[in-house]
Structure 1
Amino acid sequence: MKIVITGGCGFIGSNFIRYILEKYPSYKILNIDKLTYAGNLENLKDIEKNPNYKFLKKDICEKDLEEFIDDYDVIVNFAAESHVDRSIYQPEIFLKTDILGTFNLLEICKKKNIRFIQISTDEVYGSIEKGSFEENSNLNPSNPYSASKASADLLTLSFFKTYKVGVNIIRSCNNYGPYQYPEKFIPLMITNAIENKKLPIYGDGLYIREWIFVLDNCKAIDIILHKGKEGEIYNVSSEFSIPNIEIAKKILEYLGKSEDLIEFVKDRPGHDRRYSIKCEKIKKLGWSAETDFEKGLAFTIEWYIKNKNWWRKIKYSKSFISHLEKTYK
């Protein structure tokens, strides 16, 4: 199989590329990434010389992109602006990449008869007080990020219905694990705790999310890639949920640090209280999450302890410091 992976230098994308090349040594991968602030070539340094791997620095919005995509079976679209906090003060780039970029890729798939897999998020459903959303639940996004992803999902379905492009949409819960950019909640809590810095927690800290270890999500995408039914949406979740404040406490406990490092900060606008999704559909394909949260979190903490050089270069950059100042003011 020949696969185009967009956004493959980001967190989930880089983990997926490594997973696929290890599991399917004969598969060929073209990784297309613009290398924005969250794209990092170091994430794939261990496989960059693999003869079945190619990298192309390119923006998915560029119209000449189709010239580089010939004789491929599928595009898996990880490319996206994905941080809710940034979407609040910089929404325009989310609309461009997440909507217009997805549209450009769909046009290429239509023209060249290529299958398309859209990597989406559970955030498109919005908040739910009780129970869990299913794949056919209404979309109710609360911020520019989730609105842009919901728009991309609808575009993707429209290309299936109108042009018969073979598509799938994968909506996963929050991922965590190695190589996650340290603006995201779990790596920010871990790296701040390692350096004895304050752990900023929005509002009362009782916002609830479901969490899945990134390799479990990679396995889910793999199964949908090989067994997914065209035109279908698949929720992906560990179905384990926990309030943000409890994660912060678990990290501090593991590192032997005081809970005095927790600092409650002003809540962000439009903050969804609780996410929860059912994933019975993908379970019927033979998938289920394997990684216990406690073990996955411990593995992730140890990875950040062992890879300080990787994240410190990011966290001490002027752009990252500026972002934190805007976000947790």
Structure 2
Amino acid sequence: MEKQWEWNTPLKFSLMFISSFLVAMTIVLMSMDQVELHSLIDAGRSAFFTFANPNPSSISPNSNSTSSSCPCDPPKKFTEKTNFPAPKFRMLMGILTRPGSYNGRNLLRLAYSTQTTNVAEIDVKFVICNVTDGNDRVIVALEIMKFNDIIILQCSENMDKGKTYTYFSSLPAMLSQPYDYVMKTDDDMYFRLDVLARSLDPLPRTDFYYGRVIPCKSTDPFFGYMGGMGYILSWDLVEWIGISNITRNHAEGFEDKLVSEWFNEGNRAKNRFTATPRMYDVPGLTTCSHEYMPDTIGVHRLKNKRTWAQVLRYFNVTDGVKPSKMYHLL
């Protein structure tokens, strides 16, 4: 009978040793071929940044995606230029409010943080005077730490005793770089930022005064003044307010009307524009009220949850809520 082949222990260990040696030598030989190895690494790195680079313009203009070492080219959507054009102007939106109005500020943060526009860079800030209450100081400090969106002026809290003058006149020394436009608005006003930005885009950037003219029946921006619901000045007018004796000596009075008087006396703001009727009070309240309209720029006198909900519902602000197992909204 033919004897069957049997594995003995020495032979097993010999074959295992030889196999391990060959594997080790293969690894060593691969590591010695540095040129090929570096080429492979560079190819892999290039392929990764073609997909991951958030700024396609930073990719070398000499690169050719069709000659990639990858056997399959990246999807077209990753190689197309997707960066947005630079904003056409910058605007500071200053919302005048009081230190204790925490809930109102938080609602406005929600209303503005969910909006976007490619036309302008709009910085939303809350403007208050000196915080004298100890409890308010703690909460306001917490807001600054979290949001960094509060400007505290050197003044006592007021409406018509110089706060608006202090706001405008303080900005040139306070800011590291100027804006194209500066807005003053109230904390009961809601703006649709993209619509507002597009309305400003074709207009002048200097000697500029824009808002909802008062009296409300007027459409002549040179007759009357821009209502306190929200008006916008070009930066050169903000600088002028800070150095003019006209404004310094006449800082108190009905703030919105006062601004117009400054410009009339100083022969300023030759470029005046009214957003009538696209800025208005909530329906059925004042002579500046009318029904909501699709091309609205801003709505004023949002004094409670009901009016806020009406406005946000009309403009379908919350339609973008995504479905989830974590919540349900009937």
Asked whether the two chains share a fold, i.e. TM above 0.5, the reply is no
User: TM-score, normalised to structure 1's length?
Assistant: 0.31
Between the two structures, name the one with larger relative contact order (CA 8 Å, sep ≥ 6): 1
Question: Which structure has the bigger radius of gyration?
Answer: 2
